[in-house]
Amino acid sequence: MDIFLSVNNREQVICLPVLPAEFTISKPQKNDTFETVTQGELKLIGSPGLKGITISSFFPVRDYPFLRDRSYKGFEYVYIIDKWIEAKYPIRLIITETPINMVCCADDFSYTIKKDGDLYYTLVLSQFKLVNTI
């Protein structure tokens, strides 16, 4: 399995060098609860909300034998993702060997520099629906 992030129809692509131990995709449902006089609470099934995913791993500053990709090192990944966020680019997330292929926006990107120099990060993405102009 590999995790790819890209912008502008693959104009720039990064493969995450270290896979996260796990990732969770949230699929919220916009249900509403109403209080009635005669029946108490009633639940109305609403529309699905936007999917979300949080990815936590690290960007290495040195070569490790387990790296999935060696195109960049440490802060180069941070600079690329920061540039995409500042430019307000939608980010395509593809996780191979899964059906996950979705356009996202970054809701949060934080990182910590550990004493070995590696950058441990958390990237929070949520589904971005392209506006249909028809």
How is the chain split into domains, by residue range? 3-24+50-127
Q: With a cut of 90, say whether residue 102 has pLDDT above it.
A: yes
For residue 102, count other CB atoms closer than 10 A to its CB.
20
Residue 51's pLDDT is what? 95
Confidence of residue 40 (pLDDT cuts 50, 70, 90): confident
Confidence of residue 86 (pLDDT cuts 50, 70, 90): very high
- Whether residue 27 contacts residue 51, with contact meaning beta carbons closer than 8 Å, is answered with yes
Confidence of residue 34 (pLDDT cuts 50, 70, 90): confident
> What CATH number has the domain spanning 3-24+50-127?
2.40.30
- Mean pLDDT for 80-103 is 96
| pTM across the whole model | 0.85
- Whether residue 74 contacts residue 67, with contact meaning beta carbons closer than 8 Å, is answered with no
Distance CA 8, CA 66 (A): 29
Residue 131's pLDDT is what? 82
Closest-CA residue to 85 (of 53, 124, 55): 124
